[in-house]
Structure 1
Amino acid sequence: MAWLRPWTPDPKIPGVEDDSYAACFFQRLQEFRSEGHLVDLTLCAEGKEIPCHRLVLSACTDYFHAMFRGGHPESTRDKIEMLGLNGEALELLVNYAYTSNINITMDNVLPIFEAANMLQVKPVEEACEKFLKDKLRSDTCLRTWALADKLSYTCLSAMARSYALKKFEAVCRTEQFLELPVDYLKMYITDDGLHVRNEERVLEAIIHWALHDLEERQRHLGEMLACVRFSHVNPSLIKDVTETDQVLSEVLGIEELTKEDGRHARPRQIHQEEIIVLGGATDKGESMGRCEVEANLFMYRLNLHGDIIDKKPMPRSLKHTESSAVCVVNNDIILTGGGVSPSQAYRYNSTQNSWTKLASLRKRRVCHGMAALHGQVYVVGGQDPFDDDREEPLSSVELYTEETGTWKKVKRLKLGVRNFGIAACCNNIYVFGGELDSTTIQCYNPSHNEWTVKTMELPEPAICVRACPVNAKIYLVGGSLSRVLRYDPQLDSYERMKAEPLKSWDHSSAFVCGSEIYITGGLSKLFHHYLTVPHARVQCYDMNSDTMTMGFVKDLPIPLCSHYAVILSK
């Protein structure tokens, strides 16, 4: 006797489901609305009247669902005034309820965003947020910042704020800047992260803003001038302000405001810095259907916008610095190991813009790490490329002694490491992961000349990562990590941050500038070749808002991976 199986429909035979039904349904709703058929409500905003159906609005958003359920006066009214909403934006959202489509542009995104937030139309809210993130510009960032603050969109607010601070020179020439309320202008120009060539530009921007509506803004000038760091303004300009400028000379207490009383003695140091990019490999292009890389033979000096200040060939002895290590000490760059001379050591003097040779390392090293602590340079781990046992990572550590100009051995690591993260923080040196013990954290105490293995392990493998110390915390980015990690040395604990890379950050470099970590270059996968090639993108991680952005800084001059990007004071 054969077993009977339950009947199942043949997937090839059409059933009753019809993909076109939803489209037809939406079309019929639109026709009913156009004809006025069963229309039971009119929404009004800024003189615009929009006929619609309660049922459709209730299905689209919880805001109207709650309004029409009963208990509210609006549930029985034929006409409802929507106060505080832009009429055009409201009409577009009602159309969205009937069609599931909405056209977002630079001209309408802000009022649509605000209306969608108020009416709880989440898909449109999210679309507006993404649109604004992708389209931040000098003439939109201030309004975006203010609106995102108002709507409690923390990530978008942080991105717009960061953009406005970086692009001050362009922003202060826009109409939006002239329309800034006094409280936002004050918050803007007092931020330590403001990117400005000199303090005179801040003063000029304030004057420009005041003259836009002098009758109303004259009374705020004293408050605004108090935000200027006059100790860093040209004295002759201050004299012109207090004696000859008809607008500013009448400000009550102007002479006291412009005195160098030390209130703002600290300059905006962020603009006294530049980025140095060197080493690594760049994209050679495609040959015979294959992607090839070659050594980067140049050193680039960039400003904080990514513009090239200088480009020069590396010294002949440093032409090949693959697998080298770099650190900054006393505003100079120390480079060790790697390439064809794995025991080499060089110093780049940032003042003289020149390289000098240091004493050779005691041990040949590639894939190692370096850190500077209290003005001393430590070289840690790696591997000897000429050793018979090349699979075993090194555990030896060397310290450069400035007085003798030589390297000396200090206490060995507990576990040998290569391709790891390293940082100096809280008077210790921390080593994160590596190829063999990828979740291990080791700590060196120079006072006791002792290494310890921390009990806390990282939540995911940390190979080829970059470790960035900031305010007694260490941020881990790049390499094998799937997102930013923050390690607290004092608590021996970590936190997985929300931010994830927007572009591949494997074999990238990273440095800290203000409240941001700049992550430069890395390897991207070419899916059609199943290969990886260097890229030139620069990602910025904002530590205050835990957000990752891209596009605020220009791309690197060339695609790079396994390189070094560091920041120096001018």
Structure 2
Amino acid sequence: MENKKEIVTFDIEGSAVECDKELLIKNSDYFSAMFKGYFKESSENNIKLQGVDLKAFNLIMLILWEESDIVTLDLNETYLLLEAACMLQFNSIKQLCEERIMIVLSPSTSLRTWKTAELLDIIPLYLKAKCMALENFMEICESDSILELNLEELCQYLGHIYLNSHKEFIVFQTAMSWFYENQNQSENINPTKVVLKLLSCINFNALNVGEITEMKTYPNISENAEIQMILNCIINLRNNRCTDVVDEFDRDVVSTAVHLCGAKNRKISVKPCILLQSMHPTHTPQSSRITTIVIYDRFHRKQTLTAMSASHLSLSVMSGLAYDSLTDTFKHFFPLEEKKVEHIEGFKLVRYKHFIFFFGGQHLRGSNEWNLNLWSFDTFKNKWERRNKLPHGRRHFETCIVGDSLYIVGGTGRFRVLQNNLLHCDLKTGKWSSEIINLPKDSREYQCCSFLGQLCILYVNHGTVYTFNIADSSWQSFKIAVEEEVVNSLGKYTVFADSTYIYIKGRKLLRLKFENNSFVLDKQKDVRLSEWIEIQCVQCNNLVYTIYKCFDEKYEFCYTLEEMNLDTDEIRNIFENKIAETDPVVVDKKTFYIRANTTQLFSTASYQYVKENIFVNDFL
């Protein structure tokens, strides 16, 4: 005869809810401790539950009794369910909620997910949501979700050093929009103190004097004498009129203005990655076939060398390894399956927000097919998906992401025809440019980068930078004011840029500043004397990572990975002269090898960096 269920009745928000006690004990650590421990409730059948949402509790019971699918719940119900599951320790339901929220996580849901998951201390969900919210500020600032934050939450968001805004003035505009919507929320808060706290979220060093002057015209600022004085003082400080500051403003105003001018620059939450090949456990480089090759040096001297056939290496998987500069260690980050990369050359890996794109290239053995797929790896959800398709086959091209546009520049197309043009894709809509745009010069000596929201193509040897206007597909040229002797000393070079400078890195590091309608040399430094045949570079805030491909004394490909601090000019090698397909890189007891012609350096989002609340300034 079936055992009779023991029923316990809960009083939740004034409603009686009957439950199977054994079912609760089986699924909840909270109720297991309550009914099996030495609590008075263990012998009671009528219990009042405080602080529990009735709807959420009924959803839990529905899932337990009927094994209902959580996917049928809307997101608001899922948040309610998650909070109750955490409180009452229904761990399996908590996990289901986390998985459901992670699946639908997007910029529009990231703020609420961040705040909910942080309150419940759910890691890494809250860090991923926080990173997404900070990265996608330009999209979130146009939505109403930001208006629902309280003052403390808003300041923690807008003031965060990893907030990604195309222009700092937009952060100010967003803060004031929130203020106008919420200024009547509490009569006990002094409006001047609120505005000053909001101004503490702004990096005033990233604003020009015209933008600071425009601030003074905003309602609730234009009629506020104290804030007007502070902004006027900041303008004088920016114009180096220190004598006027001392004469015109009292000590408190000057102190506040100096504080606001002491803001730190914003950063991006990224770290470098390198693509290496992992070896099958049963294969080693030594077991691969050794071949003999004959080469002639530049003096026509004959040399016989041995080389390992790369085709006999196990092609089980290529792997992205992320590098942590704080611990000086690599960590396995993502796999790239054999079918995507077997015998492929000339492809690119590039970061877009928290995604890694893999696209372009050609399978140079076997099928000779072009890789027309634009693959996307979601670093938060740890999965690959086919995002788009390239309209034309390209390999060995330059690439750049500017805002939400992906550019493919130059390279080699079908029938080995060199391409002196570009095409671009809107990553929000997935639409490619309807026409192929010719490059401004007929030259293969160029590099591209994103600078101040535009694609820049640098013809360094010609002393010219061209910027591309995507609205009308036009080009504008600017002079590079660098002496020819300096340019000739660069050797093979690469370029990168931040919000202030364009950098050219070869044997020297040149820092260019846009001034008087041209790019002038702001700083130069000798960085490397030895020769190389290829160079790749990626910037992660003030650290620049460079990988050099060289020949060693036996004419074998070898690679050096270098880190340079742009603030201190300090340079160190992370690894040096590693021979392709021979010298191992050991990560977590797994062995990886550099694979000639496919090793790439790129950056990736790192949600761990946003855990600590670092702000551009201390809040007033």
Indicate the TM-score class for this superposition, using the shorter chain for normalisation. 0.5 to 0.7
Q: Distance in 2 between matches of 1:177 and 1:163?
A: 14
Q: Which amino acid aligns with 1:376?
A: R
Q: Distance in 2 between matches of 1:96 and 1:415?
A: 67
Secondary structure of the corresponding residue to residue 590 of structure 2: coil
Residue 385 of structure 1: aligned partner: none
Question: 1:91 deviation in Å?
Answer: 1.1
Q: Distance in 2 between matches of 1:173 and 1:48?
A: 41
For residues 140-164 of structure 1, what are the alpha-carbon distances to aligned partners after superposition, in whole Å with 9 as ceiling and x for unaligned? 2111111221222231122111111
In the TM superposition, 1:84-123 aligns within 5 A as 84-103=51-70, 104-123=73-92
Change (3 A) 1:269 1:543: closer
Q: Distance in 1 between matches of 2:346 and 2:105?
A: 32
Change (3 A) 1:372 1:92: farther
Is the CA contact (8 Å cut-off) linking 1:439 and 1:457 kept in structure 2? no
For residues 461-488 of structure 1, what are the alpha-carbon distances to aligned partners after superposition, in whole Å with 9 as ceiling and x for unaligned? 22238xxxxxxxxxxxxx9xxxxxxxxx
Secondary structure of the corresponding residue to residue 83 of structure 1: coil
Is the CA contact (8 Å cut-off) linking 2:394 and 2:411 kept in structure 1? no
Q: Which amino acid aligns with 1:232?
A: A
Residue 173 of structure 1: aligned partner: 142
Is the CA contact (8 Å cut-off) linking 2:370 and 2:394 kept in structure 1? no
Residue 405 of structure 2: aligned partner: 307
Change (3 A) 1:221 1:39: farther
Residue 422 of structure 1: aligned partner: 561
Q: Distance in 2 between matches of 1:346 and 1:95?
A: 66
Q: Distance in 1 between matches of 2:507 and 2:22?
A: 65
Change (3 A) 1:243 1:457: closer
Secondary structure of the corresponding residue to residue 59 of structure 2: helix
Return the structure number with greater relative CO, CA threshold 8 A, min gap 6: 2
In the TM superposition, 1:98-497 aligns within 5 A as 98-103=65-70, 104-215=73-184, 216=186, 218=191, 219-242=193-216, 245-246=219-220, 249-250=223-224, 252-256=226-230, 259=234, 260=238, 261=258, 263-264=261-262, 267-268=265-266, 279-280=346-347, 282=360, 292-293=370-371, 295-296=394-395, 298-304=397-403, 306-308=404-406, 310-314=407-411, 319=418, 346=445, 348=447, 353-355=457-459, 374-376=526-528, 378-379=530-531, 418=557, 422-424=561-563, 427-429=571-573, 430-431=575-576, 434-439=579-584, 459-464=589-594
> More strand by proportion, 1 or 2?
2
Residue 496 of structure 1: aligned partner: none
Q: TM-score, normalised by structure 2?
A: 0.50
Secondary structure of the corresponding residue to residue 9 of structure 2: strand
For residues 409-465 of structure 1, what are the alpha-carbon distances to aligned partners after superposition, in whole Å with 9 as ceiling and x for unaligned? xx986998647562335633323855443426xxxxxxxxxxxxxxx9983222238
For residues 511-535 of structure 1, what are the alpha-carbon distances to aligned partners after superposition, in whole Å with 9 as ceiling and x for unaligned? 34xxxx2xxxxxxxxxxxxxxxxxx
Q: Distance in 1 between matches of 2:225 and 2:31?
A: 52
Q: Between 107-116 and 348-357, report the one with greater CA deviation.
A: 348-357
Is the CA contact (8 Å cut-off) linking 1:421 and 1:462 kept in structure 2? no
Q: TM-score, normalised by structure 1?
A: 0.54
Question: 1:113 deviation in Å?
Answer: 1.3
Unpaired runs of 5+ residues, structure 1, are: 1-24, 30-36, 272-277, 321-343, 364-369, 383-396, 398-410, 441-455, 466-478, 480-505, 518-539, 547-570
Q: Distance in 2 between matches of 1:148 and 1:439?
A: 40
Secondary structure of the corresponding residue to residue 561 of structure 2: strand
Q: Which amino acid aligns with 2:138?
A: E
Matched, 1:42 2:9: yes
Residue 544 of structure 1: aligned partner: 609
For residues 35-77 of structure 1, what are the alpha-carbon distances to aligned partners after superposition, in whole Å with 9 as ceiling and x for unaligned? xx85532234344432112111111112101001242232233
For residues 190-241 of structure 1, what are the alpha-carbon distances to aligned partners after superposition, in whole Å with 9 as ceiling and x for unaligned? 2222111212211111111112221226352221222222343354554454
Change (3 A) 1:198 1:264: farther
Q: Distance in 2 between matches of 1:120 and 1:203?
A: 42
Secondary structure of the corresponding residue to residue 399 of structure 2: strand
Question: 1:296 deviation in Å?
Answer: 2.1
Q: Distance in 2 between matches of 1:161 and 1:418?
A: 42
Change (3 A) 1:174 1:296: same
Q: Distance in 2 between matches of 1:379 and 1:87?
A: 71
Q: Distance in 2 between matches of 1:432 and 1:106?
A: 52
Question: 1:247 deviation in Å?
Answer: 5.5
Is the CA contact (8 Å cut-off) linking 1:154 and 1:545 kept in structure 2? no
For residues 261-305 of structure 1, what are the alpha-carbon distances to aligned partners after superposition, in whole Å with 9 as ceiling and x for unaligned? 36345554659xxxxxx95372679xx99955464264333125x
Unpaired runs of 5+ residues, structure 2, are: 239-257, 270-344, 348-358, 372-392, 420-442, 462-486, 493-505, 510-525, 536-549, 565-569, 612-620
Q: Which amino acid aligns with 2:44?
A: R
Q: Distance in 2 between matches of 1:189 and 1:356?
A: 38
Is the CA contact (8 Å cut-off) linking 2:204 and 2:261 kept in structure 1? no
Change (3 A) 1:178 1:49: farther
What is the total number of aligned residue pairs between the two structures? 370
Question: 1:135 deviation in Å?
Answer: 1.4
Change (3 A) 1:257 1:414: farther
